[in-house]
């Protein structure tokens, strides 16, 4: 019992650091995740416990170790074609609408924010490739970003375990787009060339990513506090073309969280920009359909 209070203080400090740097919150009821996530790193670094880690991280010279700690605590859950209904909506509704809107310039930019180890971005690439006859002469650019350097490095490799490859992928797609290499599966270089992975923090307003026709920011903002969520929505709004689309996770919504976006009437999980006119009333781009 003597050590229980210091451990609680350490987890609270680490959770605060995670939120301040990344926006991602860990509820007190889930503080146990911090010990579980950091245990391998503590062992590798020879640091006895979380209290000792907090003491080490108080030294400004240990920024690298702090970043490793944050990476370990981040929720990087991801798998191929997560929430299949959302990808079906992209294929059947969003992409055809954008193909019509961009028919003159024949370019399309997609941003997967919070891409984790890359499965979402590669899933989008598979959607385009599986219907590539519709996109002849088009330039399709997919950008995947994450705050974690370690998951971005993994995403760039395009190498996945047997367990990861079986989560969400049909046997057809697995054999069509991946090659087995020992115990791992490596994505087709052609799809790998369609995706650019970069480090990016949604809480940093400035960036060099440019503007996008569609942004996927799924199962990311649900972990943010109200204040940091506002910052992230502002960045997403500035990064989206005026007639572009934002897709959130199946359990997420803009309602009650921001007035920068409006739900489309027909597509669950897809949102368009809300533009305020001179009257002060919100003027929304025409919904899809």
Residue 183 lies in a domain: no
Question: Could you give the strand order of the β-sheet that contains 212-216, starting from the edge strand earlier in sequence?
Answer: 195-199, 139-146, 107-113, 212-216, 240-247, 270-273, 261-263
The tokens for 222 are 């649900």
Q: Which residue has the tokens 């027909």?
A: 266
Is 12 found in the same domain as 116?
no
The tokens for 112 are 């997967």
| Domain housing 250 | 84-152+188-283
Is 96 found in the same domain as 61?
no
pLDDT at 126 over 50: yes
pLDDT at 123: 96
Domain boundary among 46, 73, 100: 73
Quote the mean pLDDT of the chain: 84
pLDDT at 26: 76
Residue 289 lies in a domain: no
pLDDT at 100 over 50: yes
Is 58 found in the same domain as 148?
no
Residue 163 lies in a domain: no
Is 144 found in the same domain as 263?
yes
Is 199 found in the same domain as 59?
no
The tokens for 145 are 């970003």
pLDDT at 283: 36
Residue 214 lies in a domain: yes
pLDDT at 267: 65
pLDDT at 206: 66
- Mind listing the pLDDT tens digit for each residue in 24-75? 777 777 777 788 878 877 888 888 888 888 888 887 787 888 877 777 777 6
pLDDT at 221: 85
| Cβ neighbours of residue 33 closer than 8 Å, sequence gap 6 or more | 26, 73
User: What's the pLDDT band for 205 if we cut at 50, 70, 90?
Assistant: low
pLDDT at 96 over 80: yes
Is 130 found in the same domain as 19?
no
Residue 49 lies in a domain: yes
What is the arithmetic mean of pLDDT over 190-209?
87
What is the arithmetic mean of pLDDT over 242-268?
84
The tokens for 63 are 């920024």
pLDDT at 211: 94
Is 197 found in the same domain as 144?
yes
CA angle 134, 169, 248 (to 5 degrees): 70
For the entire predicted model, the pTM comes to 0.77
Domain boundary among 73, 106, 127: 73
Residue 261 lies in a domain: yes
Is 263 found in the same domain as 202?
yes
Is 20 found in the same domain as 110?
no
| Higher pLDDT among residues 16 and 260, named by residue | 260
Domain boundary among 73, 98, 133: 73
Is 120 found in the same domain as 239?
yes
Q: Which residue has the tokens 């709004």?
A: 237
Residue 171 lies in a domain: no
- Mind listing the pLDDT tens digit for each residue in 229-240? 888 999 999 999
Question: Within 10 Å of residue 133's Cβ, how many Cβ atoms?
Answer: 6
Q: How many percent of the chain have pLDDT more than 90? A: 45
Question: What's the domain count of the chain?
Answer: 2
Is 146 found in the same domain as 206?
yes
How, if at all, do strands 212-216 and 184-187 pair?
Answer: unpaired
Top mean-pLDDT range of 2-6, 188-192, 224-228: 188-192
Residue 160 lies in a domain: no
Is 89 found in the same domain as 42?
no
């Amino acid at each position: 019992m003597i050590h229980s209070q210091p451990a609680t203080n350490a987890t609270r400090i680490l959770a605060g650091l995670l939120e301040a740097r990344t926006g991602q919150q860990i509820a007190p009821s889930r503080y146990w995740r911090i010990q579980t996530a950091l245990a391998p790193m503590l062992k590798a670094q020879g640091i006895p416990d979380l209290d000792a880690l907090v003491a080490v991280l108080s030294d400004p010279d240990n920024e690298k170790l702090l970043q490793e700690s944050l990476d370990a605590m981040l929720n990087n859950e991801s798998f191929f074609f997560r929430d299949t209904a959302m990808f079906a909506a992209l294929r059947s509704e969003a992409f055809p609408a954008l193909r019509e809107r961009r028919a003159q310039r024949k370019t399309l930019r997609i941003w997967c924010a919070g891409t984790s180890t890359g499965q979402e971005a590669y899933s989008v690439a598979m959607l385009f490739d599986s219907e590539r006859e519709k996109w002849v002469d088009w330039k399709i650019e997919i950008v995947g970003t994450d705050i974690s350097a370690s998951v971005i490095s993994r995403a760039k490799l395009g190498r996945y375990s047997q367990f990861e490859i079986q989560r969400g992928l049909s046997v057809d797609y697995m054999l069509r787009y991946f090659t087995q290499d020992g115990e791992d599966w490596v994505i087709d270089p052609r799809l790998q060339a369609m995706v650019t992975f970069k480090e990016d923090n949604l809480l940093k307003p400035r960036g060099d990513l440019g503007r996008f026709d569609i942004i996927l920011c799924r199962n990311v903002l649900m972990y943010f506090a109200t204040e940091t969520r506002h910052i992230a929505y502002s960045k997403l709004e500035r990064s989206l073309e005026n007639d572009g689309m934002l897709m959130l996770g199946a359990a997420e919504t803009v309602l009650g969280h921001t007035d920068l976006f409006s739900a489309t009437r027909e597509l669950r999980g897809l949102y368009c920009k809300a533009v305020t006119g001179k009257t002060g009333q919100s003027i929304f781009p025409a919904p899809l359909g």
